[in-house]
């Protein structure tokens, strides 16, 4: 079936599942990582989400579990995948379910924010693989429900995100309970000295691979800056959604949870199907929002940076930054929600006068000047002038369809009446 690719080394049951999933050729990370993982080597991989990373470690692990059979011991999994967020854990579990559809390989996905009842039930069914977030995993270990003494394959996924979220003590505690003899796989989007120090404590004689560093991923995305006063950001967002009906899936990022909820209220009043996802939402609410977004029932997903990694939703039309992130590198992870798996995408960042310093920091980080789009009715000359970009000319956004341009220009000419008409609806006051 896959004689000429690395997929051909997998058990036939996995090959059928891979074919059903629509995989034809391996992605670069799968091609580089899978031979070493199948050979049992430890590995350090530098790769972002959306590159096929999950399959690169999950398929070889499942292959190992099929080839090397052992009696099942309830509560003693043979494989452990550690994820920083509930969304990434759930996404990994979905992949595990798809890949093992023809193999009898039970698994459990454990994370906080929901009752542990269903998760414990899956463990007691004989889960050979556990996909977990650190907090709930330690809870179950403390309760005597899970034991890590039989783990043969261990994956630490999104290690840099783990450290950002303060999980280092939990990770070290978990690692201390693992058998010394095991296969360890370490994945991170960046490899800072702190990350490499942690990797050194985890892996032995590892193969190191790097695939799709941040800059090439950014290059695939049509990035734009729109200068706007803070009080008009909501109106600009609604204007863009009204004038671009072809944007069927849009992710809007805010810095704070209350900001995400506020944006959702504004969009709902404008009859835009939307939902928020952040840490104050219950797991059921987050799952419902993501499912609706994936299926197209929810057009706009409003998120905080907790969702900037680990959520692989295909065909995202555009990412809009209502505010630039607190941590500069999160800009790359945010806009990386579009242009997945080699596709192109678009991102727009709303920037006020006060945010011009953050914009420069982002441009330094990505080593690229982000073009300014002034072709909208809420353009702020003050923010533009103070940013030092006012001499750049007037680039036309590549995603503006010719049919929409006259409409946009008309709204610019009727700027005052446009604002007056929107003020009662959206609570905006002209400064």
> 22-42: b or e for each residue (b if 16 or more CB lie within 10 Å)?
ebeebbebbbbbbebbbeebb
| Stretch among 23-37, 318-332, 415-429 having the lowest mean pLDDT | 415-429
For Cα atoms 172, 177, 181, give the angle at the middle one, nearest 5 degrees. Answer: 105
Q: What pLDDT does 362 receive?
A: 86
Q: Which of 385, 354, 44, 341 is nearest to 185 (CA)?
A: 44
Examine the pLDDT at 368 and tell me if it is beyond 90.
no
Specify the residue for token string 């609806």.
425
Q: Is the pLDDT of residue 249 over 70?
A: yes
* Pair (126, 259) in one structural domain: no
Q: Check whether residue 180 and residue 265 sit in a common domain.
A: no
Do 226 and 152 share a structural domain? Answer: no
- If one compares 330 and 214, the residue with the highest pLDDT of the two is 330
Segment 298-307 shows an average pLDDT of 85
Of residues 345 and 16, which shows the higher confidence score? 16
Mean pLDDT of 227-249: 95
Q: Which helix (H) or strand (E) element contains residue 135?
A: helix 134-142
3-state DSSP assignment of residue 346: strand
- Reply yes or no on whether the pLDDT at 293 is more than 70: yes
Number of compact structural domains in the chain: 2
Asked which of 159, 183, 212 is the last residue of a domain, the reply is 212
DSSP conformation letters of 199-258: HHHH-SS-EEEE-S-HHHHHHTEEEEEEEB-GGGHHHHHHHHHHH-TT--SEEEE-SSHH
Q: Has residue 80 been placed in a domain?
A: yes
**What is the tens place of the pLDDT at every residue in 379-427?**
999 888 887 665 554 344 444 444 444 444 444 444 434 344 443 343 4
In which domain, by residue range, is 319 found? 215-426
pLDDT band at 20 (very low <50, low <70, confident <90, very high): confident
Taking only the tens place, the pLDDT of each residue in 173-218 is 999 999 999 999 999 887 888 889 999 989 999 999 988 544 445 6
Same domain, 131 and 233: no
Where among 212, 241, 276 does a domain terminate?
212
Say if residue 330's pLDDT is above 60.
yes
Indicate whether 383 and 398 sit together in one domain: yes
Cβ neighbors of 378 (< 8 A, separation 6 or more) are 226, 228, 229, 232, 235, 236, 239
**How big is the chain by its Cα radius of gyration, in Å?**
23
Q: Do 159 and 237 belong together in one domain?
A: no
Same domain, 20 and 146: yes
Looking at the structure, tell me whether residues 421 and 359 fall in a common domain.
yes
Question: Does residue 431 lie within any of the structural domains?
Answer: no
3 state SS of 259: helix
Identify whether residues 226 and 320 lie together within a single domain.
Answer: yes
- Find the CATH number of the domain harbouring 242: 3.40.50.300
Nearest 5 degrees, angle CA 160-CA 50-CA 311?
A: 75
Q: How many CB atoms sit inside 10 A of residue 375's CB? A: 17
Tens-place pLDDT, residues 129-149: 999 999 999 999 999 999 999
Does 16 map to a domain? Answer: yes
Identify the residue with better confidence: 280 or 254. 254
Last residue of a domain, one of 160, 183, 212: 212
Give me 80's structure tokens.
């452990």
Residue with tokens 């809009």: 320
Retrieve residue 76's tokens.
């003693």
Mean pLDDT of the chain: 85
* Cβ atoms < 10 Å from Cβ of 179: 11
Q: Is the pLDDT of residue 342 over 60?
A: no
List helix spans (H) across 270-328. Answer: 283-295
Specify whether 281 is located in the same domain as 151: no
Are both 319 and 336 inside the same structural domain?
Answer: yes
Residue 173 resides in a domain: yes
Same domain as 223, residue 273: yes
- Quick count: other Cβ atoms within 10 Å of Cβ 96? 23
Q: Report if residue 336 sits inside a domain.
A: yes
1 found inside a domain:
no
Tokens of 199: 């990797």
8-state DSSP, 373: -
Sheet arrangement for strand 129-132 = 107-110, 129-132, 79-82, 153-156, 183-188, 43-46, 207-210
């Amino acid at each position: 079936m896959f004689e000429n690719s690395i997929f051909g080394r997998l058990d036939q049951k996995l090959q059928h599942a891979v074919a059903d999933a629509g995989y034809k050729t391996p992605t670069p990370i799968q091609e580089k990582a899978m031979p070493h993982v199948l050979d049992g080597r430890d590995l350090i991989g530098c790769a972002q989400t959306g590159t096929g990373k999950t399959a690169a470690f999950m398929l070889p692990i499942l292959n190992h579990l099929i080839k090397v059979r052992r009696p099942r011991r309830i509560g003693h999994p043979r494989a452990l995948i550690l994820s920083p967020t509930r969304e990434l854990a759930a996404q990994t579990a979905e992949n595990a379910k798809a890949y093992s559809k023809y193999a009898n390989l039970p698994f459990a996905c454990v994370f906080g924010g929901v009752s542990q009842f269903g998760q414990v039930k899956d463990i007691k069914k004989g889960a050979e693989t556990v996909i977990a977030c650190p907090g709930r995993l330690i809870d179950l270990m403390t309760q005597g429900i899970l034991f890590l003494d039989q783990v043969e394959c261990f994956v630490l996924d999104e290690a840099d995100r783990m450290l950002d979220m303060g999980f280092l003590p939990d990770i070290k505690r978990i690692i201390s309970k693992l058998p010394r003899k095991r296969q360890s796989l370490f994945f991170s989007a960046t490899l800072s000295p702190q990350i490499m120090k942690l990797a050194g404590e985890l892996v032995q004689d590892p193969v190191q691979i790097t695939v799709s560093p941040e800059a090439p991923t950014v290059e695939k995305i049509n990035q734009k800056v729109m200068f706007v006063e803070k009080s008009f950001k909501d109106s600009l967002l609604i204007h863009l959604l009204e004038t671009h009906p072809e944007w069927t899936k849009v992710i809007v990022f805010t810095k704070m949870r209350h900001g995400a909820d506020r944006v959702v209220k504004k969009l709902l009043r404008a009859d835009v199907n939307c939902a928020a996802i952040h840490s104050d939402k219950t797991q059921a609410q987050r799952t419902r929002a993501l499912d609706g977004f994936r299926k197209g029932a929810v057009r706009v997903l409003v998120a905080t940076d907790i969702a900037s990694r680990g959520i692989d939703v295909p065909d995202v039309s555009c990412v809009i930054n209502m505010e630039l992130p607190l941590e500069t590198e999160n800009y790359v992870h945010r806009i990386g929600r579009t242009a997945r798996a080699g596709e192109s995408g678009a991102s727009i960042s709303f920037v006020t006068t006060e945010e011009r310093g953050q914009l420069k920091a982002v441009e330094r980080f990505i080593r690229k000047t982000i073009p300014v789009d002034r072709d909208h009715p809420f353009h702020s000359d003050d923010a533009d002038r103070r940013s030092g970009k006012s001499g750049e000319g007037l680039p036309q956004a590549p995603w503006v369809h010719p049919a929409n341009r006259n409409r946009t220009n008309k709204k610019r000419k009727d700027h005052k009446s446009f604002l007056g008409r929107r003020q009662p609806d959206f609570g905006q006051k002209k400064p």
